[in-house]
Amino acid sequence: MHIANPIYDVVFKYMLEDNKVAKLFLSAVIGEPIVELDFSPQERTVEIPRRAPESAPLTVCRFDFSAKIKTKSGFKTVIIELQKAKLQSDLMRFRRYLGVQYQDPNNTYFVKEGEKKGKRRQTARPIYCIYFLEHGMDLPARPVLKVNYTVKDAYTGDEFPTSGEFVSGLHHRSWIVQIRELKAHRRNDLEKILSIFDQSNVTELRYILDVDDESYPDAYRQIIRRLRKAMEDPKKRREMELEDDLIKELQDLERQIEKHAKTIADKDQTIADKDQTIADLEKAITEMKKKYEG
């Protein structure tokens, strides 16, 4: 079966714009059942100038969701921030976006306090961060990494539950999906569904993948159908082609910049060599004068 390649920003965004598909997909990643999912008011796609993959950072897509999650004791609402780095990721940019989430007053809610009628106080919603990385980083070679906080006694090492308001309001959970590590792993449903990003399935047209429909869990077939629909949409195909063209142009520009920088560096090196030669000659002349005068 042919599907659109979700590594493309236009396809990734199209996939998540379907609310049912987004709930399925994000629930699989965080391992918790999302019963309601809304784009938060600060929903956006961020585009940053791209350069060659060898040297330039690039985060193309960013999505903010408000998710209602079913728990053993009821429900909780969290903010899910999802970012997709197409090339080498920029840690400071991730930090900057996360800082915006912590400062946003919309990411809070009011809870009743005490017995007094109408008395409420403002508290923060937990934040979940999901990162899709296309390039290798200084991380363990695993397809999905989960980063969670722990609360321990600094002296005894005893660990305590981390569901408290103070900790969850000031710390966040993260999931890191390393696309390059997906190829070799199909150990559970999550890794199977994330195999939609496996670039070993690309066809002659890079924006189309040839996948085995039967290899995906039945519960997630809706995601495959959504990607199939994107592949069949002439407008989406054209947008993927344009994305390829843009990246190629920017990579060509980067190569020109690198070539120019190398030329300047070679000239600087030549000047430095000449300066060193002159310095060596001056030193030799000085030593000769000392011998002659002596």
Any idea where the domains of the chain sit in the sequence? 2-233
Residue the block writes with tokens 């189309």 = 208
Residue 44 has pLDDT above 60, yes or no: no
Residue 42 has pLDDT above 50, yes or no: no
For residues 42-66, average pLDDT:
55
- Residue 31 is predicted with a pLDDT of 95
DSSP state of 156: T
Residue 52 pLDDT grade (very low, low, confident, very high; cuts 50, 70, 90):
very low
- Residue 163 is predicted with a pLDDT of 67
Residue 167 has pLDDT above 90, yes or no: no
pLDDT one-digit tens code per residue, 8-36? 888 998 999 999 999 999 999 999 999 99
Residue 40 has pLDDT above 70, yes or no: no
Residue 149 has pLDDT above 70, yes or no: yes
For residues 193-222, average pLDDT:
90
Question: Does residue 41 or residue 183 have the better pLDDT?
Answer: 183
- Span of 40-49, 102-111, 151-160, 265-274 with lowest mean pLDDT: 40-49
pLDDT one-digit tens code per residue, 240-249? 888 777 767 6
| Rounded percentage of the chain residues whose pLDDT exceeds 70 | 82
Alpha-carbon span 121 to 130, nearest angstrom? 29
| H-run or E-run covering 247 | helix 234-293
CB 245 within 8 A of CB 212: no
- Span of 8-12, 33-37, 55-59, 274-278 with lowest mean pLDDT: 55-59
- Residue 242 is predicted with a pLDDT of 82
- Residue 89 is predicted with a pLDDT of 47
For residues 184-198, average pLDDT:
90
Q: How many CB atoms lie within 10 A of CB 249?
A: 11
Question: Does residue 40 or residue 61 have the better pLDDT?
Answer: 61
pLDDT one-digit tens code per residue, 102-121? 788 777 777 666 666 667 77
Residue the block writes with tokens 């906080």 = 149
Residue 184 has pLDDT above 80, yes or no: no
pTM of the model: 0.74
Residue 61 has pLDDT above 80, yes or no: no
Pick the closest to residue 177 from 167, 188, 191 (CA basis).
191
Alpha-carbon span 125 to 122, nearest angstrom? 10
